[in-house]
Each structure stands twice: as structure tokens, then as C-alpha cells.
Amino acid sequence: GYTDLYVVNIGRNILYRNRGDGTFEDVTDKAGVGDSGTGISAVFLDADNDGWLDLFVANYLTYIPSQESEQNPGAYPGPLAYKGEPNRLYRNRRNGTFEDITQTAGLHRTGDRAMSVTAFDCDWDGDTDIYISNDDTPNLLWINDGKGRFHDIAIDAGVAFNSIGEAPGSMNAAVGDVNGDGLLDIYVTRLGYGSLYLRTPKGLYEDRMWASGLGLLTQKYTAWGGVFIDIENDGDLDLCIANGSAFTLDGMISLLLENDGTARFTDAGPKGGAFFKTPINGRGNAVLDFDNDGKLDILITAIADRAFLLRNRSPATNHWLKLKLEGTRSNRNAYGTRIEIHAGDKTLRAEATCPSGFLMQSDPRVHVGLGQRTKIDKIVLWWPCGVSQTLTNVNVDQILVLREPSQ
């Protein structure tokens, strides 16, 4: 019942087991998840839906400084000049150890250079899929067959490249329903033009980066971390982007972009506070509610600078709900639980997933803004084990702790 910690590194990754007394122990070797590659991102997911969390590790590339001369002007030509490292999927054996099943799961590839991994139920069929943001190679969308075997559909689905057919350095993918149609969309930050992939009822995606206004708003910046956040609890997913130069320490402002509910964005930086006028060399960002007041806060990291914790001071005029889930037959974190919330004329879809991002992870609790709606008519949860649960007449403005029913 205690949250453990997995840390990716250049070299051996580390799994820390939470002892429950405020201390941790290194159980990496016993667990078998050290992986000596260049780890850059990781998520826990129940790949085979057996009720135990498995581990996916995204690796970058092999760079050995001792073999490169800093005097050589061609020593740092870019990521494609170095060998990409394969990612890893570790299956939980249910006894504190893991086995590498990358090959048998169909996930082994060479030549990719991952920057981050995002796990979510892309097709809403009850199993967890995987999206990989790659550096200068096409992104990947691994679809789970329900038994823990995967196949990539990124090119066919329209999420491998940006709108002009390029595969510039992708950094991070954020997932959420940005236009309110009940389908999960994907926003990708990039060294070049990013992408807002809106999912269609046919299971394909359309890149609406420019139609959404995001192309014009972001074109001057190099984006790293990108997270969806409902700034004012009005029920629409807004966007926060951490920007920074890839080659110098020159700063860029971070972006706070407001969604009108139809996937049209405008600059909300002027009302976001002084921070959004301050250039930093931003990298990671995360969404959290550190004071549990129901208003989502932001944490942003930067190179050669401190971290910035931004407290949300929006007027508390809109309502909200936060869900903290606990699995019993499903995995303890209830990752993979699909959620539908009905409040008056508003229907919201969400999923409990392992948080992901560029070098950071957000609060894992599911948060929804409800606007002026004062009562939730119905919440439907589809737990990973297959059990569904319905709650009616739920109060707003609360952190609701839900335990998976036994049957």
C-alpha cells in the first residue's frame, strides 16, 4: 500500500521500495529492473491485465563522452548520429521480481530514440496502450491486444509525424479530451512544430495544430514539457507548455493557453501572473494540487535555475471533483480505470493512468472541473478487472476516495 519509486538514469536505473516509515531501500537487483541503457522515461501499467503493475522503460541513445573529442566541430551532430537504444517492458511476476518480455510482447525495436512514454487506453477497449515520443524518428502508438502483445499503428492512425510530414524531436505527449466529444486526444511537444492530434470516431487522428490556434501561439518556441490543466475548473482542458532553448541557456517564456471547449486556444499568460512573462530555460512541468484546495497548481523545472511552484489563485467560483482510486482485484493504483462523469449538460471522460511527462510526473489523482454545475448526476467507473460501478447524486468540491468493489 506504500508508493514505491523508480528512477531512470544514464546507466543503471533504480527501484526504491517504500518501507512505510519514511525510508526507502534499493531493490533493483532483486527485482531485475536495472537496465543499463540511457533511461529517460518510465511508466507503470498493467500490460496483461493480471492485476499487477508492469514497468515500461523508455531509452534514448548511446553516447560515450570518452569516445568523442570536444575539439571536433562534428562531435555533436545530433541524435541520429548515435545508436538508438531499445525500450524495455518488464512483466511483474507477482513476487517482487520482474522479467523482460520486450521481445515476446512485440515491442522490441532498434533505431528509435525515445524521449518519453505515455500509457493510456487509446481505443477505450479496456486495456492499456503505449505512445512513444521519439527524437528525430517517427513516434509510435503501440496497441495492446488485451493479452499484453502490441503492434504499432502510429503511421496508419496519423500520429507518427507532424502536420507537414516531419519527425522533428518529439519531447512529450499529453492525453485528454480537448474538444468535449468523449474521445481522447494527444498533444505532442516538439523541437519543431508540435501536434494536436484530435481523435475521430473512426479511430484515426487529425493534426489540428494550426486550426486550434496552437501553431501560431507556439511557433516561436522550443517546447519540452506539455500538460493539460483545467485552469479555472470550467470543464475544458487548457494547456501549459515549458519552453527553453535546446542549444543555449537563453530563456523563453512558458505558455499558459486557454481552451474555449472546442479545441480553440488563446493566450492566457497575461492573466496567469508574472511568471508567464519571465524567460527561463524550461524543461519539465507537472500538474498537482499541493494544497488540496481543488484548484490545480503547476510545477516547472528549468536548466541552471530553481524549480518554480505556481499556486493557482483563480477565484473559487467554479466547482470540481477529484478521484483517488484504489484497486482490489485490479492493480492497487487502479491504473486503467475508465471514468465517465455526468453533470447536467456536461459529460466528461477520463482515465486513471500512471502520470507521464518530460522528466516529470503529475499528480495521479483524476481531477475534473465542473463549471457552475452544483451536483454530479452520475459517475460510471469501469475498473480494469471488468467490474463496472455507478454512483449517483455525488457532491461536488470534494476529494472522493473510491475502493474497487469486490464484485
Alpha carbon distance 407, 15 (integer Å)? 33
Element (H, E) at 287: strand 282-288
Beta bridge partners of 343: 346
Three-state DSSP at 10 gives strand
CB-based contact 259:200 (threshold 8 Å)? no
How far from 383 is each of 10, 223, 355, 401, CA to CA, in Å?
36, 34, 18, 14
- The confidence score (pLDDT) of residue 310 equals 98
Q: Residue written as cell 512558458?
A: 254
- The confidence score (pLDDT) of residue 76 equals 63
Domains in the chain, please, with CATH? 1-158 (no CATH), 319-403 (2.60.40.10)
Half-sphere exposure of 189 (CA within 13 A, CB side): 31
Alpha carbon distance 91, 101 (integer Å)? 6
Alpha carbon distance 89, 96 (integer Å)? 16
165 burial (CB, 10 Å; 0-12 / 13-18 / 19+) is exposed
| Alpha helix stretches (DSSP H) within 8-150 | 28-31
Closest CA to 273 of 254, 286, 259: 254
- The confidence score (pLDDT) of residue 74 equals 60
pLDDT tens track, the chain, 407 positions: 899 999 999 999 999 999 999 999 999 999 999 998 999 999 999 999 999 999 999 999 998 777 766 666 565 678 888 899 999 999 999 999 999 999 999 999 999 999 999 999 999 999 999 999 999 999 999 999 999 999 999 999 999 999 999 998 999 999 999 999 999 999 999 997 899 999 999 999 999 999 999 999 999 999 999 999 999 999 999 999 999 999 888 899 999 999 999 999 999 999 999 999 999 999 999 999 999 999 999 999 999 999 999 999 999 899 999 999 999 999 999 999 999 999 999 999 999 999 999 999 999 999 999 999 999 999 999 999 999 999 999 999 999 999 999 87
- The confidence score (pLDDT) of residue 69 equals 64
Quick one: DSSP state of residue 218?
H
- The confidence score (pLDDT) of residue 25 equals 98
CA 178, 255, 357, 312 dihedral sign is: negative
pLDDT tens track for 41-52: 999 999 999 999
| Alpha helix stretches (DSSP H) within 273-323 | none
| Alpha helix stretches (DSSP H) within 74-184 | 154-157
- The confidence score (pLDDT) of residue 40 equals 96
Alpha carbon distance 234, 371 (integer Å)? 4
CB-based contact 251:388 (threshold 8 Å)? no
